[in-house]
Amino acid sequence: MTAPLIDPFQRAVNYLRVSVTDRCDFRCVYCMAENMTFLPKKELLTLEELDRMCSTFIRLGVEKLRITGGEPLVRRDIMTFFRAMKRHLDSGDLRELTLTTNGSQLERFAGELYDCGVRRVNISLDTIDEAKFAEITRWGRLPQVMRGIDAAQEAGLRIKINAVALKGFNEDELFTLAEWCHDRDMDITWIEVMPMGDLGNEDRLDQYWPLSDLRNQLATRYTLTDLAERTGGPARYVRLEETGQKIGFITPLTHNFCESCNRVRLTCTGQLFMCLGQEDMADLRAPLRDSSEGEGKLEEAIRAAIRLKPKGHDFDYSRQKVDGQMSRHMSHTGG
């Protein structure tokens, strides 16, 4: 039972993304409906169950753990979980503990996150225009996020900004965001909008801004050098020679990055999605709660799920319709 997790395509799975809640204090238009129906709290894994689940994955070879949501820091007592995970960093079994956040709660928690062993955070931020920020997040307050960024940097956390490329929305901030991140010594990664969730209110096809276009626009002002750097994730990086900063591109729709996928995603209810762009999932909550014989059933269920990991996703906008659309909201699977 100590063999590493290897999928059918001989990819080692050593990265687990865990959604600890489907709730969020924002309602970003590409992630959630404005009037979301959230899961009953009784369906969520408890913090103790999340600890057991993550600890089992770590025992099976997971070395990187990313906490997501919803907004992970709005979950009650979530720092109890981070403090518990620190023991795996201290033992050396876990190489990295990190999170993706909207930044709204970092002013409160940045220092404690650093004390728990977190060294890097990804902050989802698509605009630094206060009016546009309120529009895209529906409920968000940009000054609160900016204070969170200040607190995170003061605590010693390294920040990477994740910006979703949205046609007609933040195209005019391409250079502004690059310069702002450079001035604050932060990296930035641009992400193509993905076909997730209800399209009734937001037309993903109209929002779609190919990163090939974005890159070409950057090249009108900067010299771009492709970097061989790989983090095991979907991003591909360039260096802007004039500033030395690094910019990432995540292109699920114009470039299939699945060949090196090393990750799986666990929802706050214990569903394991082996691919962000497929509906297949495995229920791990039942074997987790049937622990009369230790974690043996859970380990078996995890291994069985990894054996079903697909080769890749089916996202496709090329035929002017949204193929490969996922019915679940991004907040359900985790960012």
The lowest-confidence range among 133-137, 264-268, 272-276 is 272-276
pLDDT, the chain, mean: 88
Cα(221)–Cα(322) distance, integer angstroms: 32
Is the confidence at residue 215, as pLDDT, over 60? yes
CA 53, CA 44: separation in Å to the nearest integer? 13
- pLDDT recorded at residue 3: 77
100 annotated as a binding-site residue: yes
Token couple for 212: 């090939």
- pLDDT above 70 covers a percentage of the chain that reads 84
Query: Does the annotation list 264 as a binding residue?
Result: yes
What is residue 232's predicted lDDT score, i.e. its pLDDT? 58
As a whole number, mean pLDDT of residues 248-253 equals 83
Q: What is the mean pLDDT of residues 267-294?
A: 87
Q: What is the pLDDT of residues 186-198, one digit of tens each?
A: 999 999 886 644 4
Residue 155, both tokens: 């605590």
Separation CA 173–CA 175 (nearest Å): 6
Was 31 annotated as part of a binding site?
yes
* Alpha-carbon torsion (204, 25, 37, 283), positive or negative: positive
| Residues whose CB is less than 8 angstroms from the CB of residue 121 and which lie 6 or more positions away in sequence, other chains included | 98, 99, 100, 101, 106, 113, 152, 157, 158, 159, 160
DSSP state of 307: T
Is the pLDDT at 146 greater than 80, yes or no?
Answer: yes
Distance separating alpha carbons of residues 333 and 280, to the nearest angstrom: 12
Poorest-pLDDT segment among 14-28, 78-92, 309-323: 309-323
Which of 151, 182, 153, 193 is closest to 29 using CA atoms?
193
Can you give the pLDDT at residue 38?
87
| Residue 292 in this model has a pLDDT that exceeds 70 | no
Q: Which of 229, 230, 276 is nearest to 252 (CA)?
A: 276
CATH code of domain 15-333: 3.20.20.70
Residue ranges with strand state E in the chain: 15-19, 64-68, 96-101, 120-124, 158-165, 187-192, 224-226, 236-240, 246-250, 263-266, 271-273, 281-283
Strands (E), 198-310: 224-226, 236-240, 246-250, 263-266, 271-273, 281-283
The pLDDT, as a whole number, for residue 181 is 98
pLDDT band for position 37 (cuts 50, 70, 90): confident
pLDDT of residue 321: 45
24 is in an annotated binding site: yes
Whether residue 327 has pLDDT greater than 80 = no
Check whether 54 is labelled as a binding-site residue. Answer: no
CA 141 to centroid of chain Cα atoms: 21
Could you give the CA distance from residue 105 to residue 45 in angstroms, rounded to a whole number? Answer: 22
Q: Are 19 and 333 in contact (CB under 8 A)?
A: yes
Give the mean model confidence (pLDDT) for residues 87-115. 98
| Confidence check: pLDDT of 257 > 90 | no
Tell me the pairing of strands 120-124 and 158-165.
Answer: parallel
Residue-level pLDDT at 317: 42
Asked whether residue 325 carries a pLDDT value surpassing 70, the answer given is: no
Could you give the CA distance from residue 91 to residue 88 in angstroms, rounded to a whole number? 5
The residues spanned by each domain of the chain are: 15-333
Burial class (CB in 10 A: 0-12, 13-18, 19+), 213: middle
274 is in an annotated binding site: no
Q: Is residue 277's pLDDT more than 70?
A: no
Reply yes or no on whether the pLDDT at 86 is more than 60: yes
Q: With b meaning 16 or more CB within 10 Å and e meaning fewer, what string describes 46-84? A: ebebbbbbbbbbbebebbbbbbbbbbbbbbeebbebbeb
Which residue, 96, 91, 150, is CA-closest to 118?
96
pLDDT band (50, 70, 90) for residue 1: low
pLDDT bucket at 149, cuts 50 / 70 / 90: very high
Per the annotation, does 327 bind a ligand? no
Choice among 30-39, 213-222, 238-247, 317-326 with the minimum mean pLDDT:
317-326
Q: What is the pLDDT of residue 316?
A: 47
Consult the annotation and say whether 28 binds a ligand.
Answer: yes
Band of pLDDT at residue 147, cut at 50, 70 and 90: very high
Structure-token match 């095991």, residue found: 232
Q: Is 268 annotated as a binding residue?
A: no
Give residue 251's pLDDT band: very low, low, confident or very high (50, 70, 90).
confident
Tell me the pLDDT tens digit for each residue of 158-189: 999 999 999 999 999 999 999 999 999 999 99
Which position has the higher pLDDT, 252 or 126?
A: 126
pTM score, whole prediction: 0.88
